[in-house]
Structure 1
């Protein structure tokens, strides 16, 4: 009788908190990507993420990283003006002003996870699996379609003369040396996306989870702050659209790898366009 009762109790035992954060089966769609995607979204729990043991950083870490980004950009601009040089007139300054603040901020984010946490692999969910690559590629392609459609509408709203980015403004009308153009292409299409994912869907997402909020809250907040954090008011609405598929990749897999792949996919064509413009082909 006792054994039977124990078995019955074990069979009806609710799923533990640890089991609830295991990788969803719906991430392996069996009815095609669209159907699997819909199932994945439906299966995402609205319950808060479990507390991360050993993580001793939160929103303050993100604010520090943002301060590093802003202050380093201001410092570079101030030094250039001190010597009477404009960012638009100096190829080295174009590269330094575009690349250094983002890379430095991402580097500080990683250091924070080592000093105040468990390192980027655990705290930022910084890992890459075949599943991440597959989901990232699919959502990246979807993102390209959405971005093209949104950019077409956005250009008509703001006007063709305003339909550009901060990096595009820096490179407009200048023929960069081939080496500099390739460097900028690698930054826009690869280095920049990795760094931005570390900052927004790594550090900021982790700060949200530490508060015990749901993944939906993390997705929504990081999407909005990602768009605003580029400090390009005219492009904010477009950046919101761009950020959605990237955030969904992070939302579904709970890892940074998929969102990195989706972000790289989304930035590849714009990066290639900037490369061709910079070398005078377009």
Structure 2
């Protein structure tokens, strides 16, 4: 019923060089993300010494998230300038059905990731499958305040920006050009896995990306996949807090 209000724009709206504006937003966001990540990596390497003073580790939580912001900023700007606005293009204001479907898919994504990671542990061993959050935020384990900030980023910030990029701009662009929904689901699941740059976890991330994408497929709205993504990330974020 109201699902059609949140579908991509009509075929003649928002075209850039003959393609849906979502592709431009997707590649702009992804390119900006990797470029800033490279710049920050070079900056934080401190001329190759690789040393950081402890007082700087707290603010680095926010700094590490800055490239991620571009993932969602590009789709947002594209929607404002070339599309119909965030609410119409993506359906970001969640409905009751979005929350229900999102929570179910989020729990299923957690289960999928757990099972696939157990299989991967048998293949790679525990050393190659160390906890990524511990590697990123382990230096602030003694600061509860910064851990709360990190938990909010992991459970809300990252899901929002990643969903706008993958299940928002890219999904809308593919749907606009009449790519079959199941193909879109698989492609966005693969992009979701590649985005996290964790080769050892690729299979598990792909499985979780498929399940999170199901929320978008079933509702036609990014709000549902955002809820699913946030539900999937919440337990690791709580474990991060528990480590304090």
- Relative distance call for 1:225 and 1:114 in structure 2 (3 A) is same
Residues 87, 93 of structure 1: 8 Å contact kept: no
Tell me the SS of whatever aligns to 2:92.
Answer: coil
1:150 aligned residue: 116
The gaps in structure 1 that reach 5 residues or longer are 1-18, 24-48
Residues 22, 75 of structure 2: 8 Å contact kept: no
Residues 72, 161 of structure 2: 8 Å contact kept: yes
Residues 142-195 of structure 1, C-alpha deviation per residue, up to 9 Å, x if partnerless? Answer: 222222212222222221112135433123465241111111111111111111
Residues 215-272 of structure 1, C-alpha deviation per residue, up to 9 Å, x if partnerless? Answer: 2222111011111121221111110111121110100100011111111111111111
Alignment of 1:29-108 (within 5 A): 51-52=10-11, 54-56=13-15, 57-82=21-46, 86=51, 90-92=56-58, 94-108=60-74
Aligned residues: 235
1:32 aligned residue: none
2:18 aligned residue: none
- Relative distance call for 1:88 and 1:254 in structure 2 (3 A) is farther
Q: What is the TM-score normalised by the length of structure 2?
A: 0.86
Higher relative contact order (CA 8 A, sep 6+): 2
- Relative distance call for 1:77 and 1:200 in structure 2 (3 A) is same
The gaps in structure 2 that reach 5 residues or longer are 16-20
- Please give the alpha-carbon distance, in whole angstroms, between the structure 1 residues aligned to 2:52 and 2:196: 18
1:29 aligned residue: none
- Please give the alpha-carbon distance, in whole angstroms, between the structure 2 residues aligned to 1:91 and 1:118: 40
- Please give the alpha-carbon distance, in whole angstroms, between the structure 2 residues aligned to 1:87 and 1:132: 43
Runs of 4+ that moved beyond 6 A: none
Shift in Å at residue 72 of structure 1? 1.3
Residues 4-27 of structure 1, C-alpha deviation per residue, up to 9 Å, x if partnerless? Answer: xxxxxxxxxxxxxxx9x759xxxx
- Please give the alpha-carbon distance, in whole angstroms, between the structure 2 residues aligned to 1:50 and 1:119: 10
Question: Over aligned residues, Cα RMSD in angstroms?
Answer: 2.5
